[in-house]
Amino acid sequence: MCPLGWLAAASLCLGTLCAVPAEERRKAEKPKADPTLHENLDLDNYDLTLDNYGEILDLSNYEELYDYGDLVPKIEVGTLAPRPKDPKTLPELGEATAGTPELRPPSGAGPVPPAPIPGQGLPSCQLCLCLGTSVYCDDAGLEQIPALPPDTAYLYARFNRIGAVRAADFTGLEKLKRIDLSSNSISWAEADAFRLLPSLQELLLPQNLLTALPELPRSIVRLDARLNRIGSAGLRPEALRDLKQLQFLHLSDNQLDFIPVPLPESLRSLHLQNNNIQTMHEDTFCDSQDQGQIRRALEDVRLDGNPINLSLFPNAFFCLPRLPTGRFS
């Protein structure tokens, strides 16, 4: 009987232990945290509010990772509307908006598109891609310059069929800095097409059909009219004299038979290769009366591909920091 009694007692003890809830056992087994370990930990600094957000989270390392420039204020994606044939036939904004009845969708019809917002004028992007102040019209089948948003600063209309440039194409575009009309069919430009643009710095006209150099604004820094048909008769006398900011003049692969002078002191690069230049004046680059003159800015002069022997005109470029590229024999 003793072994049976011992088994009964052991079973009773085990039943008592199992009856204790598991949660209480875990609490009993978990060691208590020592409060002294966290006495020096200041958790008040991590209470985020609008006042202390910048102090707790240092974002200074991320301020200049992305600079979107003029893409931040607005991004328009679409195409440019064709220019109206006669702007005088357009109704005034006040006439167009005054007395216009409120548009209501007919029963069973879908929603009516919103009416134009007063002050926006004509739709601005319907044939080209407009991103911020840049307008991209490359390879769009254009035959003329499209209507441009008034804030346009950069125009790219390459690889089209534009045949002429008129002054009205850029009227009112006072912020326009760069015009790229490369690889079109432009054969002429009106006298005031570019001259009246006060901010224009870069005019790119390579691979066109121009026979005359267009008049340029005094703000121009870079002119590229390579691969055209510009002859010496297409240059006005002293056409470059007043262009005090011109640095890059590229007229290679044309039909020039002399170097356009006088050249502005600001000029850094002059490309006239592959023309028909046969001679030059001794004052073309340097002042023949000032033997101490050094023209440091003009370091890149290309005359290769012309029927001129540069060794016959040593006094014409004694002031240059580098000899022109060309034939010396």
pLDDT, one tens digit per residue, over 7-52 is 555 555 445 444 445 555 555 554 554 555 444 444 444 444 445 4
Read off the amino acid at residue 246.
Answer: L
Per residue in 268-298, pLDDT (tens digit) is 999 999 999 999 998 999 988 887 788 999 9
The predicted structure's pLDDT at residue 127: 83
Same domain, 242 and 296: yes
* End position of a domain, from candidates 184, 209, 229: 229
Q: Give the residue-averaged pLDDT of 200-221.
A: 97
* Cβ pair 140, 164 in contact under 8 A: no
Q: Which residue has the higher pLDDT, 35 or 190?
A: 190
Q: Picking from 90-94, 119-123, 199-203, 215-219, which range would have the lowest pLDDT averaged per residue?
A: 119-123
CA–CA gap between residue 20 and residue 212 (Å, rounded): 104
Residue showing tokens 């005031």: 192
Domain count of the fold of the chain: 2
Average pLDDT over residues 144-169: 95
What is the pLDDT, as a whole number, of residue 321?
Answer: 93
Specify whether 176 is located in the same domain as 191: yes
The residue among 229, 250, 273 that closes a domain is 229
For the chain, the average pLDDT equals 76
Q: Nearest-5° angle of CA 171, CA 212, CA 311?
A: 135
Regarding whether 287 and 225 lie in a shared domain, the answer is no
- CA distances to 150, 190, 255, 259 from 123, rounded to whole Å, are 12, 26, 42, 45
Distances from the Cα of 10 to the Cαs of 6, 13, 14, 241, in angstroms?
A: 6, 5, 6, 116
For residue 292, the model assigns a pLDDT of: 79
237 shares its domain with 320: yes
Model pTM above 0.85? no
Q: How many angstroms separate the CA atoms of 288 and 248, rounded?
A: 24
**Interatomic CA distance for residues 162 and 187, integer angstroms:** 9
Same domain, yes or no, for 303 and 237? yes
Distances (CA, A) of 236 to 231, 248, 317: 11, 19, 24
Q: Say which CATH number the domain at 142 has.
A: 3.80.10.10
85-89-91 Cα angle (round to 5): 130
* Same domain as 136, residue 220: yes
Q: Which residue has the tokens 């009219």?
A: 225
pLDDT tens column, 308-319: 999 999 889 999
Q: CB-hemisphere CA count at 13 Å for 203?
A: 24
- Domain with 309, as residue range(s), is 232-328
pLDDT tens profile 91-114: 444 444 444 444 444 444 444 433
Residue 262: cis peptide before it, omega within 30 degrees of 0: yes
Residues 71, 72, 73: CA angle, nearest 5 degrees: 100
The percent of residues above 70 in pLDDT, for the chain, comes to 62
